[in-house]
Structure 1
Amino acid sequence: MPHSARLRAGRFSEAQRIYLLTATTESRETLFSDFTVGRLVVAELKAAQQEGLVESLAWVLMPDHLHWLIALQQGSLSGLMRRIKGRSAKRVNALYGRQGKLWQDGFHDRALRREEDVLPAARYIVANPLRAGLVSRVGDYPLWDSVWL
C-alpha cells in the first residue's frame, strides 16, 4: 500500500473536532525559507478560516512543512488539505514561474480527544522553530500564529 494511502486508512472527519495536521513539501524542499512563498501559504490558511471551513487555533510554517491546529467547522480533512495544498501550489508556481508539485501526497492528522491536550499541542507547534534551531526566541520566527497570544 502506498504511503499516502496508508495515511488515509481509517481517517474520519468530524465537525467541531480539533485536529493537528501536518503536511510536508515535495522532497522536503525548503521552499518556505522564502518569506514571500510562506505568506502565500498563510493566505490560504486564513482564507479557509474566513470561509468558515475551520477555526485556526495555531500554525507554524517551517521551511519544509506545515503544522496546523484546527477546529474543523465543515467538510472533510482531505478536502480541506486538498484545497490548501492545491491553491497554495498554484499561487507559488504562478508567482515563481515554476511547475510541478509543491507538497508531498497525503498529510498526517491527529484528533485531539481531550481539552487539556489542545494548549500543549499549540505550544508544540509554535515552539517548532526554536527546537529546530532556526531562532533563539519564538517571537523571532515570522511564519506562525496562535489564538493564545
Structure 2
Amino acid sequence: MCRNRHRVFDSPANADLAMQLLGSMDREGLTASLAWIIMPDHIHWLAQLRSHSLGYCVQRFKARSSFLINRRRGSRGAIWQAGYYDHAIRSDASLHRHACYILENPVRAGLAAQIGDHPYGWCRWPLSELEPAGEREW
C-alpha cells in the first residue's frame, strides 16, 4: 500500500517502472512471478520465492521503486507504508483462485470493464484457464 494511500501509480511512467522492477526480481532469481496488478495506490503480487525471504524481496522492491520514483519526480521521502500483507497458498486450485482475484481487482475498482483490460497487469496463465474467484475463501 502506498503511504497515505497516495495514488502513485496513476502515473503510467510509475506503473511501468513497477512492472519492470517486478520482472527484474524474476530475472535476478529472487522470485518467480505468477500474477500481478498495479493499482493506483497499491500492488497485488503473486510470486513464488526462489531465494531470500519474502520480507527481503518486498523490502528490495519497495526500496528500488521508492528510489527510482523519487528520482523521476524530483522528490524525497517514503512512497510505501510500512509492512505488507501476505498469504500462503497451499494448493493449485487456491493458486488459480488467487491469480483470478488479483486480476479482477481493476474490474471491482471500476478501472476496467473486464478481466484482462487493465494495462498494468500480468498473469503466467492464459485468462481462459482461470475461473472467476467468486467470494474470497481465505
TM-score after normalising by structure 1: 0.82
Shift of residue 140 of structure 1? 2.4
Aligned match of 1:120 in 63, 84, 97? Answer: 97
- What's the CA shift string for 1:43-79, capped at 9, x where partnerless? 1101100011111000001000110001111100010
Secondary structure in structure 2 of the residue aligned to 1:127? helix
Structure 1: gaps of 5 or more residues:
1-23
Aligned amino acid, residue 33 of structure 2 = S
Structure 2: gaps of 5 or more residues:
127-138
Q: How far, CA to CA, are the matches of 2:109 and 2:100 in structure 1?
A: 14
Superposition RMSD on alpha carbons, in Å?
0.8
More strand by share: 1
How many residues matched?
A: 126
Residues 1-149 of structure 1: pairs in structure 2 closer than 5 A:
24-149=1-126
Secondary structure in structure 2 of the residue aligned to 1:137? coil
- Could you tell me the percent identity over the aligned residues? 37
- What's the CA shift string for 1:16-55, capped at 9, x where partnerless? xxxxxxxx00000011011111111111101100011111
8 Å CA contact 2:103–2:116 kept in 1: the answer is no
Secondary structure in structure 2 of the residue aligned to 1:45? helix
TM-score after normalising by structure 2: 0.89
Comparing both chains, which one has the higher relative contact order based on Cα–Cα distances under 8 Å and sequence gaps of 6 or more? 1
**Structure 1 segments of 4+ aligned residues over 3 angstroms from their partners:** none
Q: How far, CA to CA, are the matches of 1:57 and 1:139 in structure 2?
A: 15
